[in-house]
């Protein structure tokens, strides 16, 4: 029987890749969602004939509604439309490729509706890891990571016992500023940060890669996905992005997963698990790559990583605030309102000043999201020391 799936964020880079990948697989598209890109959503809807589509932007909704008026496809609108399409009980799997904190609730709703989640939206677990773990166990659904590092760890753990894992080793490319003089970091412009050496990604995640906050968020993601103690999750810088991550076992044996840096591989594995399905993609040629190198993380250069570990240390609401503050600080940086090195400073100030609680509910996290957003948006950069 064909697997029935919904793709949230189908017009973004992960969503588009996912729709390319499913040509290899036995899959039925039940729902598609987009934020503002009406033209691409219309094209995708005509090609894949889902039962429903949703689009957040209201003007874009009118365009999609009109274009699909002679079809049986149901067109939903706004944040409510997105949540409705996330909660359908006739899907086997929801692929969440939304960007940022707004992807958290759709993950929770998908789980509550009994769907497995193929999760590219790492912010879901950073914002609400504990709640998502709890909800997942209640409905007994799976979360399959669509993040190259977590897919690598997942593949390394197949057939292994988690009790024998000594540590997870996340690899990170180090981004475009791995070798840049720290004294010149204050002059970094959005254009500089948007150039990533190995991966093609959206704007938000590209800035997160430049600040290495992306790696920090991935540490938190790994803690929840693999139910691992934060002390057992390490990072090593690996500029070639060929080893996607590793697992070290108690006997010092290390397993790694390798591949060219192409998101199609983790996307397909999340949809085809436990199988590796044949493709015509370019194979990894290690002789051509010649050398793989490794370095320690420089925390002075990348304070965002330290903040991510610190948020895990503080537990409770701290990782949620870290995540939302980072998102808002990144937008302010992209708008040229603050400098690159003010991103971690704003996050730290928000973490220190929020109303901390140990075991927040979804509603607590949502109100904290509003608080943090306003706090970071309105914080005058002249007070950042
Ligand atoms: Mn990643």
Distance (angstroms) between ligand 1 centre and the Cα of 147 equals 5
Kindly state whether residues 129 and 159 are assigned to the same domain: no
pLDDT of 59 reads: 97
Kindly state whether residues 36 and 96 are assigned to the same domain: yes
Distance (angstroms) between ligand 1 centre and the Cα of 203 equals 14
Distance (angstroms) between ligand 1 centre and the Cα of 73 equals 34
Residue 91 is assigned to a structural domain of this protein: yes
Kindly state whether residues 170 and 217 are assigned to the same domain: yes
Last residue within a domain, chosen from 91, 111, 145: 145
Residue 284 is assigned to a structural domain of this protein: no
Q: Could you say which DSSP state residue 259 is in?
A: -
Distance (angstroms) between ligand 1 centre and the Cα of 346 equals 23
Distance (angstroms) between ligand 1 centre and the Cα of 342 equals 23
How many C-beta atoms surround the C-beta of residue 288 within 10 A?
6
Distance (angstroms) between ligand 1 centre and the Cα of 218 equals 7
Kindly state whether residues 199 and 71 are assigned to the same domain: no
pLDDT of 205 reads: 86
Distance (angstroms) between ligand 1 centre and the Cα of 262 equals 11
Pairing of strands 165-172, 143-145: unpaired
How many separate domains does the chain show?
2
* Range(s) of the domain holding residue 345: 150-259+298-383
pLDDT of 385 reads: 65
pLDDT of 199 reads: 65
Distance (angstroms) between ligand 1 centre and the Cα of 281 equals 20
Last residue within a domain, chosen from 145, 161, 196: 145
Residue 55 token pair: 């689009």
Per-residue pLDDT reduced to its tens digit, 226-250: 999 999 999 999 999 999 999 999 9
Look up the CATH number of the domain holding residue 247.
1.10.1740.10
Kindly state whether residues 8 and 154 are assigned to the same domain: no
Residue 12 token pair: 């973004």
Distance (angstroms) between ligand 1 centre and the Cα of 277 equals 22
Kindly state whether residues 231 and 117 are assigned to the same domain: no
Kindly state whether residues 308 and 361 are assigned to the same domain: yes
Distance (angstroms) between ligand 1 centre and the Cα of 149 equals 5
The region, left, alpha or beta by phi > 0 then psi within -120 to 50, assigned to residue 212 is left
Residue 287 is assigned to a structural domain of this protein: no
Residue 65 is assigned to a structural domain of this protein: yes
Pairing of strands 254-258, 243-249: antiparallel
Give me the half-sphere count of Cα atoms (radius 13 Å) on the Cβ side of residue 56: 17
Distance (angstroms) between ligand 1 centre and the Cα of 380 equals 32
Kindly state whether residues 154 and 215 are assigned to the same domain: yes
Kindly state whether residues 199 and 137 are assigned to the same domain: no
Kindly state whether residues 60 and 25 are assigned to the same domain: yes
Residue 378 is assigned to a structural domain of this protein: yes
Residue 283 is assigned to a structural domain of this protein: no
pLDDT of 1 reads: 81
Distance (angstroms) between ligand 1 centre and the Cα of 25 equals 24
Kindly state whether residues 235 and 359 are assigned to the same domain: yes
* List of the chain residues with pLDDT < 70: 197-201, 385
CB burial of 21-44 (b: ≥16 within 10 Å; e: otherwise) equals bbebeebbbbbbbbbebbebbbeb
Look up the CATH number of the domain holding residue 119.
3.40.50.720
Residue 33 is assigned to a structural domain of this protein: yes
Distance (angstroms) between ligand 1 centre and the Cα of 49 equals 31
Per-residue pLDDT reduced to its tens digit, 171-228: 999 999 999 999 999 999 998 888 876 665 678 888 999 999 999 999 999 999 999 9
Distance (angstroms) between ligand 1 centre and the Cα of 122 equals 9
Distance (angstroms) between ligand 1 centre and the Cα of 59 equals 33
Kindly state whether residues 132 and 180 are assigned to the same domain: no
Cis peptide before 56 (omega within 30 of 0): no
Last residue within a domain, chosen from 101, 128, 145: 145
Instruction: State the sign of the Cα–Cα–Cα–Cα dihedral 159, 15, 109, 24.
Output: negative
The region, left, alpha or beta by phi > 0 then psi within -120 to 50, assigned to residue 169 is beta
pLDDT of 134 reads: 96
């Amino acid at each position: 029987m064909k697997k029935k799936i919904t793709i949230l964020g189908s017009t973004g880079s992960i969503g588009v890749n996912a729709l390319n990948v499913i040509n290899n697989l036995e899959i039925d598209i039940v729902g598609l969602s987009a934020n503002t890109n009406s033209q691409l959503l219309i094209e995708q809807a005509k090609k894949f004939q889902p039962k429903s589509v949703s689009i957040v932007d209201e003007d874009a909704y009118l365009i999609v509604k009109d274009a699909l008026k002679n079809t049986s496809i149901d067109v939903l609108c706004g944040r409510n439309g997105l949540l409705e399409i996330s909660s359908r009980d006739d899907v086997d799997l929801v692929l969440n490729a939304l960007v940022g904190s707004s992807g958290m609730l759709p993950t929770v709703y998908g789980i509550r509706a009994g769907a497995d989640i193929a999760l590219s939206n790492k912010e879901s677990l950073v914002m609400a890891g504990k709640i998502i773990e709890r909800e997942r166990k209640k409905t007994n659904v799976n979360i399959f990571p669509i993040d190259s590092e977590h897919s690598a760890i997942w593949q390394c753990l197949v057939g292994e016992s988690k009790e024998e894992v000594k540590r997870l080793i996340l690899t990170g490319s180090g981004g475009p500023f791995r070798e840049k003089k720290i004294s010149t970091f204050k002059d970094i412009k959005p254009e500089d940060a948007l150039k990533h050496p190995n991966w093609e990604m959206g704007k938000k995640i590209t800035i997160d890669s430049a600040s290495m906050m992306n790696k920090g968020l991935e540490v938190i993601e790994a803690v929840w996905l693999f139910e691992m103690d934060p002390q057992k999750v390490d990072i090593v810088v690996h500029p070639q992005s060929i080893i996607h991550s590793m697992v070290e076992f108690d006997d010092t044996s290390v397993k790694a997963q390798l591949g060219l840096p192409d998101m199609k591989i983790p996307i397909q594995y999340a949809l085809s698990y436990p199988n590796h399905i044949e493709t015509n993609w370019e194979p990894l040629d290690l002789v051509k790559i010649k050398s793989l190198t490794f370095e320690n993380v420089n925390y002075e250069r990348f304070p965002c990583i330290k903040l991510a570990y610190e948020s895990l240390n503080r537990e409770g609401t701290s990782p949620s605030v870290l995540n939302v503050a980072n998102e808002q600080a990144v937008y302010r940086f992209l708008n040229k309102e603050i400098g690159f090195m003010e991103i971690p400073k704003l996050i730290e100030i928000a973490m220190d000043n929020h109303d901390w609680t140990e075991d927040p509910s979804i509603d607590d996290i949502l109100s904290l999201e509003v608080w943090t957003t306003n706090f970071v948006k309105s914080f005058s950069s002249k007070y950042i020391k």
